[in-house]
Chain A
């Protein structure tokens, strides 16, 4: 378990999610692929936090403040933020699916191309 293998895993999950977004027409499949992409990003953030030190801790001469020590866990905090954004986004997406279904009783994004020029 090295940083390289974790980054490859994260890139794989991200790209599979991107492929799902681009290649599916069903809105629920698209939402599921967005969640996959979020997961890939969180894996990258946490593995950076685990394997690479913050620049404030590399300084050999000076004393270490608790501010510098807390920056070592920035990846975890970013993960918490991404998870809360993803929760808000999926709640909003469910509302949008509801409205789409009410309008045309279909959740296929091909049916919703009124803005196409």
Chain B
């Protein structure tokens, strides 16, 4: 139980920091400080991913968001003339604040009213064994079946996947093969598109 307690404490502290950092990002007058706050929020979200047993996603978050996107935004800040007082509000500030708080309460209401499935309701023993990593695959007339290999150990947290990176990799090349190709196409087209936009036309 003590492990759970520390996870809960970390979760509450980190989510408080995330909300504080997000509010700072959208309210800061100095836009460079806003960008620094944004990278702080990214790091805190990566901590949330580690708490949720999504190690691979946490590492990708730090690599891509903190490493690449924050640097791109820091480059974009160079185009602003008055960085210190550059982030001004539009005239729809109050209306958008009202709209966003309304949407927030609607989202909370929906998430509280809906009854989500729980991990505790999985009763298939093969599925439990597979999720906890104790399985071997058995090929039977073309389809691959999961067989329970060992007795389940007690105290295993349901929903925690052993070796989730391996499972993400095999998902990417089996269940999500077409979306993966589409993502590659989108990345290539974004690369070519941004180069085409930036390229200076030669003066004739």
Contacts and interface: CB of A to CB of B under 8 A. Distances in A.
Contacts of A20: 25-26
Nearest to A1: B11
21 contacts: A9-B15, A11-B111, A19-B100, A22-B95, A23-B92, A42-B45, A46-B57, A64-B126, A64-B130, A64-B146, A71-B171, A73-B164, A74-B175, A77-B168, A80-B172, A84-B183, A95-B195, A98-B197, A107-B79, A107-B80, A108-B88
B171 A73 contact: yes
Interface residues of A, number: 87
Interface in B11-40: 11, 15, 18-19, 22-23, 25-26, 31, 34-35, 38
Contact of B69 (A55, A58, A72, A87): A87
Interface in A7-66: 7-9, 11-20, 22-26, 28-29, 31-33, 35-36, 39, 42-43, 46-53, 55, 57-60, 63-66
Given A64-B126, A76-B56, A89-B190, A50 B183 contact: no
Interface of B: 7-8, 11, 15, 18-19, 22-23, 25-26, 31, 34-35, 38, 41-42, 45, 48-49, 51-54, 56-57, 60-61, 64-65, 68-69, 72-73, 75-77, 79-81, 86-90, 92-93, 95-97, 99-101, 103-104, 107-108, 111-112, 116-119, 121-124, 126-127, 130-131, 135, 137, 143-146, 159, 161, 164, 167-168, 170-172, 174-176, 179, 183, 186-187, 190-191, 193-195, 197-198
Contacts of A106: 81
Contacts of A11: 104, 107-108, 111
Contacts of A43: 45, 48
Contacts of A33: 25-26
A53 B121 contact: yes
B191 A91 contact: yes
Contacts of B69: 35, 86-87, 90
A36 B38 contact: yes
A94 B41 contact: no
Interface string A68-106: 111111101101110111111111111111111100011
A50 B93 contact: no
- By CB atoms of chain B within 10 A, which of A6, A23, A29, A105 has the most? A23
